[in-house]
Chains A and B, each alone.
Chain A
Amino acid sequence: NAGVTQTPKFQVLKTGQSMTLQCAQDMNHNSMYWYRQDPGMGLRLIYYSASEGTTDKGEVPNGYNVSRLNKREFSLRLESAAPSQTSVYFCASSALGGDTEAFFGQGTRLTVV
């Protein structure tokens, strides 16, 4: 079982460029999340999707958009990258929101120059 798959693993962008981070899970989970991790800041929630067809803002949504394409896939888009978005991004999924354990992807290390 693949679990949660994120692509790409590494990416370097120039300021102002756009890109989409892809995430897919094969566990038939309802809930999916995007977090960013910065040194000393823990894991901060960007957006989440409680179920297919729904998305909602987390703690740090500015500069990002998401799409819950279907039950399996949840993508994160940076429309105009900024150096402040340099971070490690994690996608995660859980069966039933915060009531069940979350499974994480391997992460995407993004650098914006």
Chain B
Amino acid sequence: GQQVMQIPQYQHVQEGEDFTTYCNSSTTLSNIQWYKQRPGGHPVFLIQLVKSGEVKKQKRLTFQFGEAKKNSSLHITATQTTDVGTYFCAGPGFGNEKLTFGTGTRLTIIP
């Protein structure tokens, strides 16, 4: 079945440093989605990428979808304490009926 892996599993950064998480799928994806889960909370949708090589920005967050549509990355510039949480990528499975989530990257910020 489809597998979606993320690295790293954990990342600790000093406030103000940059952060990047990488997502790799075993199958080609029609789209990739990114979610953020605050500690004790539920996942919340951030963005969806559809096109090969697509790059989208949300303030300090930059999302990329690979040319082969099998990998993606999320980069945060100058992290802030509000960025704390776990970031998940997610992609549709066979037939696009279900959403398979990556293993997640947990970001902690050292003030």
CB of B85 closer than 8 Å to a CB of A = no
**A42 touches which of B1, B31, B102 (Cβ 8 Å):** B102
Known interface pairs A42-B103, A48-B98. Does A104 touch B43 (Cβ–Cβ under 8 Å)?
yes
Min distance, Cβ A110 to any Cβ of chain B, angstroms: 15
* Cα–Cα distance between A41 and B102 once the two chains are bound (Å): 9
Asked if A33 contacts B43 (CB within 8 A), the reply is: no
CB of B59 closer than 8 Å to a CB of A = no
* Cα–Cα distance between A105 and B93 once the two chains are bound (Å): 21
* Cα–Cα distance between A7 and B26 once the two chains are bound (Å): 34
Query: How many chain A residues touch B (Cβ–Cβ < 8 Å)?
Result: 28
A-B contact count (CB 8 A): 75
Within 8 A of A (CB), among B37-80: 42-45, 48
Asked if B45 contacts A101 (CB within 8 A), the reply is: yes
Asked if B42 contacts A104 (CB within 8 A), the reply is: yes
Min distance, Cβ B70 to any Cβ of chain A, angstroms: 15
Instruction: Give the segment of A20-28, A73-81, A91-99 that binds chain B.
Output: A91-99
* Cα–Cα distance between A42 and B42 once the two chains are bound (Å): 12
Asked if B30 contacts A99 (CB within 8 A), the reply is: yes
Asked if B104 contacts A42 (CB within 8 A), the reply is: yes
Asked if B97 contacts A98 (CB within 8 A), the reply is: yes
CB of B99 closer than 8 Å to a CB of A = yes
Which 8 A-B residue pairings sit nearest by Cβ, starting from the closest?
A98-B92, A43-B101, A42-B103, A104-B42, A101-B45, A50-B97, A97-B97, A98-B99
17 residue pairs bridging A and B, Cβ less than 8 Å apart: A31-B98, A33-B99, A40-B103, A41-B103, A42-B103, A42-B104, A45-B98, A45-B100, A48-B98, A59-B100, A90-B42, A99-B30, A101-B33, A101-B45, A102-B99, A103-B45, A107-B42
